[in-house]
Copies of this chain bind each other. A is one copy, B any other.
Amino acid sequence: MHKGRLEAFSDGVIAIIITIMVLELEIPHESDLAALLPLLPKFLSYTLSFVYLGIYWNNHHHLLQAARQVNGSVLWANLHLLFWLSLIPFVTGWMGENNFAKIPLVFYGGVLWMAGLAYYILVRALISHHGADSVIAKAIGRDEKGIRSLYIYTAAIALAFVAEWVAAILYVLVAIIWLVPDRRIENNLTK
């Protein structure tokens, strides 16, 4: 099975998710600066989620670049990832609406955790389809960044109950770790 349509469909879904989040920024009826102030936490959570979705699109792009073809398991692993990504606008809006309160922070981390797990499953499905000696298997290796992210999300969720700002900082930290594009694949492909 060709990978083209899986890429196109994922592009479409991620493009919509990354864009409809901006609909949560309700347009104020007043025209002064003070009217924008209550939108600041929403804008910050929007920016963070935009970066996360950009990272996912970027890594998805690198990952599929290394894939030669897909099968039924890969299609469903991919849909499973898109499901968790589709919940990001909701938790983003909830977190922004409530000024980074404890429970919304925990749910934000929970959705990131599940999306991270879903990405990991997608990687495994692709490797198992291409074989252990394939370019994609060598390029990904043990996917340490992915596993490390899940550890940090777990810590962030636990620490949110102690101090909300620690969780928020950890989510920003993971985004920074991933902002460096996935050079593992790029390096292996050009060898």
A residues apposed to B, CB below 8 Å: 1-2, 5-9, 11-20, 22-25, 27-33, 36, 47, 50, 54, 57-58, 61, 64-65, 71-72, 75-76, 79, 82-83, 86-87, 89-90, 93-94, 97-98, 101-104, 107, 179, 181, 183, 186
Q: Which chain B residue has the least Cβ–Cβ distance from A60?
A: B5
Name the one of B2, B61, B86 contacting A75, with C-beta atoms under 8 angstroms: B61
Measured between beta carbons, the chain B residues less than 8 angstroms from A5 are 7, 11, 61, 64
Given A12-B12, A13-B15, is A27 in contact with B90 using a C-beta cutoff of 8 Å? yes
- Main secondary structure, interface of A, reads helix
**Shortest Cβ distance from residue A94 to the other chain B in the assembled complex, whole angstroms:** 5
Measured between beta carbons, the chain B residues less than 8 angstroms from A7 are 5, 8
User: Are A19 and B16 interface neighbours, CB within 8 A?
Assistant: yes
Number of copies: 4
Q: Which chain B residue has the least Cβ–Cβ distance from A182?
A: B72
11 new A-B contacts at CB < 8 Å, known A8-B11, A16-B19: A2-B65, A5-B61, A9-B15, A15-B16, A18-B86, A19-B20, A30-B98, A31-B94, A32-B103, A54-B79, A57-B79
